[in-house]
Amino acid sequence: MPELIIPPGLVCGIDEAGRGPLAGTVVAAAVILDPARPISGLNDSKKLSEKKRDALAVLIRERAVAWSIASASVEEIDRLNILHATMLAMQRAVAGLAIRPSHAMVDGNRCPRLDVSVEAVVKGDGKIASIAAASILAKTARDAEMLELHAQYPMYGFDRHMGYPTAAHFAALEAHGASPVHRRSFGPVAKQLSLL
């Protein structure tokens, strides 16, 4: 497991989950970690097992100085496009923090507009502890949301692919058409709708 950097001061890490799926919201999280209460095992959420992510998410919520999770809706994704909807979710996550950070670090190469200084860190979820923590909170929150959507729309198999474009998801779209939680601006969904 890599030793991740914890920047000094009230720095919040920001990351998102759910840019690529064909269905569901895009979720962002912002986390300010407490250097006095370290959390071992933090890493890019995609490199952790579901069990490890869930356990770390509990520790992050308990030990962080502040944390916040926010999202942008399917309607906002379709209206704004996925990049702008992701930036909106990130802005909401930072706005939801109980403590105003002095600086923000975002995973990737694009930054949302914030009222604090912000920098993009490519592959930051594997380098900066607070970004890794944000990636874990965003991923676990979005997965939980997709399980709720699976209960409403079991025919799509959201519990298995979390809305991502898999062969099983394409087959379900072809068989059942698009649900209200599918992103109509995404090519495979738009194509399916044009066939109806």
Written as tens digits, the pLDDT of the chain (196 aa) is: 457 877 778 999 999 999 999 999 999 999 999 999 999 999 999 999 999 999 999 999 999 999 999 999 999 999 999 999 999 999 999 999 999 999 999 999 999 999 999 999 999 999 999 999 999 999 999 999 999 999 999 999 999 999 999 999 999 999 999 999 999 999 989 887 776 4
| Position 28 in a domain | yes
What integer pLDDT is reported at residue 98 of this predicted model? Answer: 96
| Position 187 in a domain | no
**Could you tell me the CATH number of the domain that includes residue 93?**
3.30.420.10
Q: Which residue in the block uniquely carries the two structure tokens 């030990």?
A: 63
CA 76/CA 18 separation, integer angstroms: 14
Do 133 and 31 contact (CB within 8 A), yes or no? yes
| Position 35 in a domain | yes
The parent domain of residue 124 ranges over 11-153
CA 140/CA 45 separation, integer angstroms: 9
| Position 15 in a domain | yes
What integer pLDDT is reported at residue 2 of this predicted model? Answer: 57
| Position 118 in a domain | yes
From the list 27, 52, 37, the residue with the least C-alpha distance to 6 is 37
Residue 120 CB coordination number (10 Å) = 15
CA 62/CA 67 separation, integer angstroms: 10
Total domains in the fold of the chain: 1
| Position 192 in a domain | no
| Position 104 in a domain | yes
What integer pLDDT is reported at residue 30 of this predicted model? Answer: 98
What integer pLDDT is reported at residue 35 of this predicted model? Answer: 92
- Please give the model's pTM, rounded to 2 decimal places: 0.94
CA 14/CA 85 separation, integer angstroms: 15
| Position 164 in a domain | no
Do 65 and 31 contact (CB within 8 A), yes or no? no
What integer pLDDT is reported at residue 195 of this predicted model? Answer: 63
Do 93 and 68 contact (CB within 8 A), yes or no? yes
